[in-house]
Copies of this chain bind each other. A is one copy, B any other.
Amino acid sequence: MKFLIFTYFGVVHLLSLCSGKSIYKNGISKRTFQEIKEEIASYGDIAKAIINLAVYGKAQNRSYERLALLVDTVGPRLSGSKNLEKAIQIMYQNLQRDGLENVHLEPVRIPHWERGEESAVMLEPRTHKIAMLGLGSSIRTPPEGITAEVLVVTSFDELQRRASEARGKIVVYNQPYVNYSKTVQYRTQGAVEAAKVGALASLIRSVASFSIYSPHTGIQEYQDGVPKIPTACITVEDAEMMSRMAARGIKIVIQLKMVEKTYPDADSFNTVAEITGSKYPEQVVLVSGHLDSWDVGQGAMDDGGGVFISWEALSLIKDLGLRPKRTLRLVLWTAEEQGGIGAFQYYQLHKVNVSNYSLVMESDAGTFLPTGLQFTGSEKARAIMEEVMSLLQPLNITQVLSHGEGTDINFWIQAGVPGASLLDDLYKYFFFHHSYGDTMTVMDPKQMNVAAAVWAVVSYVVADMEEMLPRS
């Protein structure tokens, strides 16, 4: 007898999955979980065919090679840049040539900020050229730069305690790396907090779990009513050095020059392609990644990998001559890095059909070796997803953890649509994230094969099952 444990509004339910009793007491389904299990199990041969094609067959390394060709050809793809629009046009052609259906572009207005000449030079206690990258949306400095003494702090709390020392200075944050979601607040909010206490500029220790003197950029956010000050990231190494110098009582002076430019919003597109559903074409399983990137490196990992395993999922399904009952929709988001701009636009346009979305999937945290999915949805849906993932037993990739959220699918998840993200080995992800190191060198074709297989099996089976995933 096999039991699954569901947590539902804090109450633990033990459901006998062999009892044949419907778990959809308050839902629309008349089917028992046993019937659903059997339906999912019937996809075993299709799952194996997908795995064989992706991992061992003629499609192996295809997503890697397609990705390499795009990012080598175009380079990084910042919101508002010509590179991004070139990449969108190339992908549009790629998807058409691949024989996918309903390939089209959906217009989006996106931010257009551009890095200019920029430098940070330590003038005291010794001359030292500081590696830096302006943060996305930062204003420029005056043409002569900002030359000021440095106040080094390791936390917002320390900044508050030493608020009286900050006026007229450049605040350097040397916050320790805890994890991305905790530490990234220094990148997003560091300038605002420094400006509140009268600083002229702020430099943030890069949000990175490991460094070889590499700055890691990213978006930062100004706040209404708080003066805008220029802000950039520096390396872990220089932040730590300045912390040591400050602890020794040494005066540090930096000259910061940034000629960043903010233009009016630019035209861009979400890129869409489909395998139209055979039975319920109006119903959708959405697979996605974002095509834009930061303006350094190649954006191969963030999020080229997500884009190309998502495309690969549809390619694999098409190559096997499969057509699910529901429409399988590929969306390549634009301007995710500026705060999910393309995804917001897409949601605004399509939310009227929210009841037709069975599952929204996003890969935006690497396509390293996957171990399963992160999933957000009702326990009923989770139980179904666990069965779907059991089809990936041949790859030993069966985990279904919580927190399926991602910037580009959160609107749908908040509206009640089940959401899934790829769960993969994140060990090195923040070594490269938003840095010059995000290149094809990071990517592994075999890992991408496996990730694409997971993506294809999950999206196909959920799109082809007789019923949509149940909601809360």
Residues in chain A within 8 A of chain B (CB atoms): 68-69, 72-75, 125-126, 128, 131, 210-214, 236-237, 240-241, 244-245, 248, 297-298, 431-432, 435-437, 439-441
Q: Which of B211, B244, B436, B439 contacts A437 (CB 8 A)?
A: B211
Is B437's CB under 8 angstroms from A213's CB? yes
Contacts A211-B212, A213-B435 aside, 18 further interface pairs with beta carbons under 8 A come to A68-B244, A69-B248, A72-B244, A73-B126, A74-B126, A75-B126, A131-B436, A211-B441, A212-B212, A212-B436, A213-B439, A236-B441, A237-B436, A237-B439, A240-B439, A240-B441, A241-B298, A244-B440
Q: Which residue of B lies closest to A76 (CB)?
A: B128
Q: Knowing A73-B125, A75-B126, A126-B73 touch, does A241 contact B211 (C-beta < 8 A)?
A: no
Q: Which residue of B lies closest to A241 (CB)?
A: B72
What would be 14 A-B contacts, judged by CB atoms less than 8 Å apart? A75-B126, A131-B436, A210-B212, A211-B212, A211-B437, A212-B435, A213-B297, A214-B214, A236-B441, A237-B297, A237-B439, A241-B298, A241-B439, A241-B440
Q: What separation, in Å, do the CA atoms of A241 and B432 have in the docked complex? A: 17
Q: What separation, in Å, do the CA atoms of A439 and B431 have in the docked complex? A: 17
Chain B hits for A440, CB < 8 A? 237, 240-241, 244
Q: What separation, in Å, do the CA atoms of A72 and B125 have in the docked complex? A: 9
Query: How near does chain B come to A153, taking the closest CB pair, in angstroms?
Result: 18
Chain B hits for A126, CB < 8 A? 73-75
Is A237's CB under 8 angstroms from B441's CB? yes
Is B212's CB under 8 angstroms from A432's CB? yes
Chain B hits for A75, CB < 8 A? 126, 128
Q: Which residue of B lies closest to A126 (CB)?
A: B75
The 10 residue pairs across chains A and B that have the minimum distance between CB atoms: A212-B437, A213-B436, A237-B439, A212-B212, A213-B437, A237-B441, A212-B214, A240-B441, A72-B241, A68-B244
Query: How near does chain B come to A177, taking the closest CB pair, in angstroms?
Result: 12
Chain B hits for A436, CB < 8 A? 131, 212-213, 237
Chain B hits for A237, CB < 8 A? 297, 436-437, 439-441
Chain B hits for A212, CB < 8 A? 210-212, 214, 431-432, 435-437
Q: Which residue of B lies closest to A213 (CB)?
A: B436
Q: What separation, in Å, do the CA atoms of A68 and B245 have in the docked complex? A: 9
Q: Which residue of B lies closest to A236 (CB)?
A: B441
Is B72's CB under 8 angstroms from A245's CB? yes
Chain B hits for A439, CB < 8 A? 213, 237, 240-241
Q: What separation, in Å, do the CA atoms of A236 and B441 have in the docked complex? A: 8
Q: Which residue of B lies closest to A131 (CB)?
A: B436
Q: What separation, in Å, do the CA atoms of A427 and B74 have in the docked complex? A: 34
Chain B hits for A125, CB < 8 A? 73
Q: Which residue of B lies closest to A127 (CB)?
A: B75
Q: Which residue of B lies closest to A441 (CB)?
A: B237
Query: How near does chain B come to A117, taking the closest CB pair, in angstroms?
Result: 12
Chain B hits for A297, CB < 8 A? 213, 237
